[in-house]
């Protein structure tokens, strides 16, 4: 039984709304709500049952659309207290592949004598072969069916008889995906298109990329950008070409990681929701210089107060009268009455219409989303918005090609695109990795926003007293001029794809397929790693090679992928051929994990095992390892293939005190009975030292256990076995030992092994810049026992920078993002700096900053920059200070006073403040705040307090004033405070304002003045000369706005979010 949910409540029933089960149309109208889909077929079937208590546990009605009845409940429900009933589409196995039916149905049990007494439940479902029955496990409790309820005179089941009726509406499914569960859904098969993977919050980018991709002449233009020599993670053009090509050829969703890397984004940027309109502008700007002939225009249209797209265009071209206080400054003619507006001389073939769904709300001091209803058509004629002299040889009719949709609010939500890829194709919905067909209603009505007109409410709203505005609406529309459609959407041919791109990506696809096959076949193979005398001679560490050290990368060894069923003789032949030796001149030893955690050669593989498989050898000789680790032993005399009897293979390492290195020096065969001291002449000969050179010998037992050996004991007495390692060094006079240790160098292998045990490789990377020649990324090998100062000195040497002027920040092991600043005062060991981490990377990344001041000062002091605006609200200079963190803001003002020129005869007082995030108000400090407590980062400003403000009496009002240009969100400059006097006309107020900001008559004549009220959503109220602004009841956030062109160079994005930057 395929399930279901519990009984679904139907719409509330009116007391007097009595309807009979036998009145099919009335009953369906009451109990089957209109879901907004066309009805393909409607059927009603009734099945009478008697002797209810003697019925079988499961019954099936005699009809194609069968009813499955469990009179006493099915196995999923408590026995004998419920009725379970389901609608079953019979014999789905006989239906064609991909068969489905979307049905809305009501299941009813009614009284056979009075059909107005019944119990009903309704549902809807997409019936498919795998889910061919659907209904209600707990349709009703039996006791409620056998007894009268709700004041009725008769029970539903009377005399153990009842009618079971099913009402079925089969609904049209024009898209083929109505109520689809999308399990095993294939976008390519169903629509011919594939989606884009979401990296975390990149649906805004995906929706735009699909729109640009489907605009074929844009795709062609992107393909024509020369990129043959580019690298995909450094070239936006090449990365975009690659995404487009994959969308063309892949049958799976396409990734965009390469593209975002080419933007210069870190992984974190992919988890930040950005505005798609800004992203489109930045991306187009990046590509514009490289693309030829792709004319597409972005036009920003108002939504608020506009009923539809036509009204938005009318608003865009509306003429504004410039007269009175708002006259136009004409060159050489002074102030003149004028009309200001926009006239289009022409439109490009493709229009990107940006609907202004996001606006600044002054009351909330934040951006908000406008969810008002705003209609747009499939076709719009823009002729009336063109200049009379425009070329009208072809109509200026535009066809809708794409709708980019945002669902949610300002702080998040989801983006998707609705696109019509061809003039005669159906509309498709591109929702990240899924592409589905959609209806015209889903394109238009469902994305107008606001409240539906004569539409069907969603189920969750159906019983509410008022409708809720829809938060899913269009914010960008793509229209194509009808006469340009054949060119813009011209079918794509193979020749349109650059040959180099096709060649490169086809090669990569073959490589990926090979890797995929390799992964799929991995269980058939094992990896063999071979240590040679050459790799041993280069190895500086424990054992013969590094394999699984926590803080050190593994050794680079010759590696072979071997079929587990390959015989040893074939494998040995391959190894001999690879290293250019005859087969009879090599012997392979298997390395094993010893109990003391070392990895050493244990036994050589005898040639008698040549018929065994490599897997059997691995299992028999080194069962605790997944790979096969081998040592390649070269036989000097193939006539004597076996080691001398009673001999041991011992590896030797040389500790060179002058070079401070410990490297492999090969191996020797020694007899067990030989004295350890017998090695000394052999070493002198191998190293070509003077015979008799005094040598000390140490056994490398394991990390932390390096022991001086006694030369007079035999190897057997010293418990030396095959694969053991003996380290040697020249025996130094006491003076040389002392000199080495005075230089901080290691004088014996015990000390050096201790360093090896505690060494770590740390990568140092610049914190605020991409690595470069000036700010390099580099690695250092350090000892975990060393402290902060030792690390700083080493980094200082590498960067040629004073170590005391370096600051370090640890990183998160998972993604490399900054974690916490290291404090020099703690003087932690490197082991403490690296710990604790739940992830154990082989390398640790630490970020560095070059400072202009000592880290000692910085840890006790606060570095602050203050922008000085003087008495006239002009940004004059930035002043930097390094003060104790316990200093007060008034101390900062005192230090600033010594660096700036105050007005002669002025107040001599300084105000330090921040600016509110919308750029409209000062956030003043009292002076008693401790500077160490000011949140970081901070932008501080300071001004000289005017005498007029300082001497203002109780009758005066001190208000905030800010600068903006045309729109309230386009603030610039620095806000300031200003005194408003009782009874003063604004014509006089303006004169004092002009003096306060020191602007010339000519410039000031262009200023407009507006009262900005926080309590309303209105546009600014512009002030006339006769007004007295003192009479306004100022709320704390009400401000005066100066509307003029931005010449400060300090435009602000208002309450916008982090800007999008594309670097590649």
Report the alpha-carbon distance of residue 149 to residue 796 in Å, rounded: 88
Report the alpha-carbon distance of residue 357 to residue 408 in Å, rounded: 11
Do 428 and 443 contact (CB within 8 A), yes or no?
no
> Contacts from 752-758 at CB under 8 Å and sequence distance 24+?
752/655, 752/660, 752/662, 753/542, 753/662, 753/700, 753/703, 753/706, 753/727, 754/704, 755/783, 756/540, 756/541, 756/542, 756/662, 756/703, 757/542, 757/703, 757/704, 758/783, 758/784, 758/785, 758/831
Report the alpha-carbon distance of residue 10 to residue 12 in Å, rounded: 6
Strand pairing of 967-980 and 586-593?
A: unpaired
Report the alpha-carbon distance of residue 677 to residue 1050 in Å, rounded: 81
- The tokens describing 845, both together, are 């990344």
Peptide bond between residue 937 and the one before it cis (omega within 30 degrees of 0): yes
* Helix and strand counts by DSSP (H, E) for the chain: 25, 47
Angle, CA 1045 vertex, CA 1041 and CA 1047 arms, to 5°? 110
Tally of CB atoms within 10 A around 354? 19
- The tokens describing 320, both together, are 């504004």
Q: How far apart are the first and last CA of the chain?
A: 56
- The tokens describing 949, both together, are 């403000």
Residue tagged 């009145």 (tokens): 23
Alpha carbons within 13 angstroms on the beta-carbon side of residue 276 total 33
> Contacts from 993-998 at CB under 8 Å and sequence distance 24+?
993/961, 993/1042, 996/872, 996/873, 996/946, 996/948, 997/872, 997/873, 997/874, 997/1042, 998/872, 998/873, 998/874
Tell which residue, 553, 585, 610, has the closest CA to residue 844.
553
Q: Which residues are catalytic?
A: 203, 414
Report the alpha-carbon distance of residue 553 to residue 751 in Å, rounded: 22
Distances (CA, A) of 806 to 802, 846, 851, 854: 7, 12, 6, 8
Tell which residue, 726, 794, 728, has the closest CA to residue 760.
794
Collapsing DSSP states into helix, strand and coil, what is residue 119?
strand
Residue tagged 């931005």 (tokens): 1046
Do 625 and 651 contact (CB within 8 A), yes or no?
no
Tally of CB atoms within 10 A around 187? 21
Strand pairing of 910-915 and 940-944?
A: antiparallel
Residue tagged 């809305």 (tokens): 104
Tell which residue, 280, 245, 230, 695, has the closest CA to residue 476.
280
H helices of 215-326, in order, are: 216-223, 236-249, 257-262, 276-288, 309-316
Length of the chain: 1064
């Amino acid at each position: 039984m395929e399930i279901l949910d519990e009984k679904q409540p139907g719409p509330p029933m009116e007391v007097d709304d009595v309807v009979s089960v036998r009145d099919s149309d009335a009953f369906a109208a009451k109990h089957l709500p209109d879901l907004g889909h066309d009805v393909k077929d409607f059927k009603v079937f009734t099945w009478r049952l008697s002797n209810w208590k003697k019925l079988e546990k499961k019954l099936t009605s005699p009809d194609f659309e069968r009813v499955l009845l469990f009179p006493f409940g099915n196995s999923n429900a408590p026995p004998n207290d419920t009725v379970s009933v389901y609608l079953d589409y019979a014999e789905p196995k006989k239906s064609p592949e991909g068969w489905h039916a979307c049905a809305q149905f009501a299941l009813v049990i009614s009284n056979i004598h009075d059909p107005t007494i019944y119990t009903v439940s309704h549902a809807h479902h997409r019936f498919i072969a795998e889910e061919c029955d659907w209904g209600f496990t707990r349709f009703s409790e039996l006791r409620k069916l056998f007894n009268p309820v709700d004041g009725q005179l008769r029970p539903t089941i009377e005399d153990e008889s009842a009618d079971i009726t099913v009402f079925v509406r089969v609904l049209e499914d024009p898209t083929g995906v109505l109520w689809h569960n999308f399990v095993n859904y294939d976008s390519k098969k169903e629509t011919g298109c594939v989606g884009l993977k979401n990296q975390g919050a990149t649906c805004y980018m995906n929706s735009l990329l699909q729109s640009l991709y489907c605009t074929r002449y844009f795709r062609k233009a992107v393909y024509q950008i020369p990129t043959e020599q580019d690298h995909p993670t450094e070239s936006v053009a090449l990365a975009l070409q690659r995404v487009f090509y994959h969308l063309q050829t892949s049958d799976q969703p396409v990734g965009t990681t390469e593209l975002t890397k080419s933007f210069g984004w870190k992984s974190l940027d992919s988890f930040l929701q950005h505005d798609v309109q800004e992203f489109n502008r930045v991306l187009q700007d990046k590509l514009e210089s490289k693309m030829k002939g792709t004319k597409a225009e972005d036009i920003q249209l108002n939504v608020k107060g506009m009923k539809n797209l036509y009204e938005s265009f009318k608003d865009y071209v509306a003429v504004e009268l410039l007269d009175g206080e708002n006259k136009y400054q004409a060159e050489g003619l002074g102030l003149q009455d004028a009309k200001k507006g926009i006239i289009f001389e022409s439109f490009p073939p493709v229009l990107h219409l940006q609907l202004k769904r996001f606006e600044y709300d002054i009351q909330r001091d934040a951006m908000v989303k406008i969810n008002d209803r705003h209609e747009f058509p499939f076709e719009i004629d823009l002729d009336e918005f063109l200049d009379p002299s425009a070329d009208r040889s072809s109509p200026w009719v535009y066809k809708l090609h794409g709708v980019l949709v945002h669902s949610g609010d300002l702080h998040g939500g989801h983006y998707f695109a609705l696109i019509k890829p061809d003039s005669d194709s159906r509309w498709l919905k591109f929702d990240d990795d899924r592409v589905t067909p959609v209806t015209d209603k889903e394109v238009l009505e469902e994305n107008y926003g606001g409240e539906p007109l004569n539409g069907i409410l969603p189920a969750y709203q159906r019983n509410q007293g008022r409708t809720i505005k829809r938060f899913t609406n269009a914010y960008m529309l793509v229209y194509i001029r009808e006469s340009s459609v054949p060119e813009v959407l011209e079918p794509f041919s193979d020749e349109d794809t650059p040959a180099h791109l096709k060649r490169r990506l086809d090669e990569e696809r073959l490589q990926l397929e090979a890797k995929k096959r390799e992964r799929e076949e991995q269980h058939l193979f094992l990896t063999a790693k071979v240590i040679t005398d050459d790799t041993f001679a280069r190895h500086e560490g424990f054992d013969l090679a590094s394999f699984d050290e926590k803080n050190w990368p593994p050794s680079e060894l010759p590696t072979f992928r071997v079929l587990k069923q390959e015989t040893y003789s074939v494998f040995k032949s391959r190894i001999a051929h690879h290293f250019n030796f005859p087969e009879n001149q090599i012997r392979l030893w298997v390395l094993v994990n010893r109990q003391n955690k070392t990895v050493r050669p244990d036994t050589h593989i005898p040639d008698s095992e040549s018929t065994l498989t490599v897997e059997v050898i691995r299992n028999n000789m080194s069962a605790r390892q997944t790979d096969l680790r081998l040592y390649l032993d070269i036989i000097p005399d193939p006539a004597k293939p076996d080691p001398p009897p009673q001999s041991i293979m011992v590896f030797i390492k040389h500790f060179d005190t002058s070079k401070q290195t410990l490297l492999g020096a090969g191996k020797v065969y020694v007899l067990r009975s030989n004295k350890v001291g017998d090695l000394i002449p052999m070493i002198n000969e191998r190293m070509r030292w003077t015979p008799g050179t005094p040598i000390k010998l140490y056994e490398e037992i394991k990390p932390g256990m390096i022991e001086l050996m006694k030369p007079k004991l035999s190897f057997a007495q010293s418990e030396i076995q095959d694969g053991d390692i003996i380290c040697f060094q020249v025996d130094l006079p006491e003076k040389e030992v002392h000199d080495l240790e005075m230089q901080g160098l290691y004088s014996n292998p015990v000390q050096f092994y201790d360093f090896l045990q505690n060494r770590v490789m740390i990568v140092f990377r610049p914190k605020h810049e991409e690595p470069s020649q000036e700010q390099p990324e580099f690695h250092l090998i350090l000892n975990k026992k060393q402290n902060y100062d030792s690390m700083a000195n080493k980094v200082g040497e590498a960067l040629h920078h004073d170590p005391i002027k370096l600051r370090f920040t640890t990183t998160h092991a998972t993604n490399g993002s900054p974690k916490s600043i290291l404090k020099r005062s703690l003087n932690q060991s490197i082991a403490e700096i690296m710990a604790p981490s739940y992830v154990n990377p082989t390398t640790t990344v630490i970020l560095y900053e070059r400072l202009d001041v000592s880290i000692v000062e910085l840890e006790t002091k606060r570095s602050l920059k203050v922008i000085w605006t003087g008495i006239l609200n002009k940004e004059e200079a930035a002043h930097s200070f390094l003060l104790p963190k316990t200093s007060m803001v008034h101390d900062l003002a005192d230090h600033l006073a010594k660096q700036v020129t105050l007005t002669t005869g002025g107040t001599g007082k300084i105000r330090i403040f921040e600016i509110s995030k919308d750029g409209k108000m000062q956030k003043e400090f009292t002076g008693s705040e401790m500077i160490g407590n000011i949140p970081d980062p901070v932008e501080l400003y300071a001004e000289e307090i005017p005498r007029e403000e300082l001497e203002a009496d109780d009758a005066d009002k001190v208000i905030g004033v800010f600068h903006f240009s045309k729109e309230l969100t386009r603030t610039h400059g620095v806000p300031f405070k200003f005194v408003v006097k009782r009874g003063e006309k604004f014509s006089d107020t303006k004169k004092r304002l002009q003096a306060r900001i020191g602007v010339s008559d000519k410039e000031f004549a262009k200023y407009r003045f507006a009262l900005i009220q926080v309590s309303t959503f209105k546009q600014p109220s512009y002030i006339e000369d006769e007004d007295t602004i003192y009479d306004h009841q100022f709320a704390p956030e009400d401000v005066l706005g100066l509307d003029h062109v931005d010449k400060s160079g300090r435009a602000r994005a208002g309450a916008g979010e982090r800007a999008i930057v594309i670097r590649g």
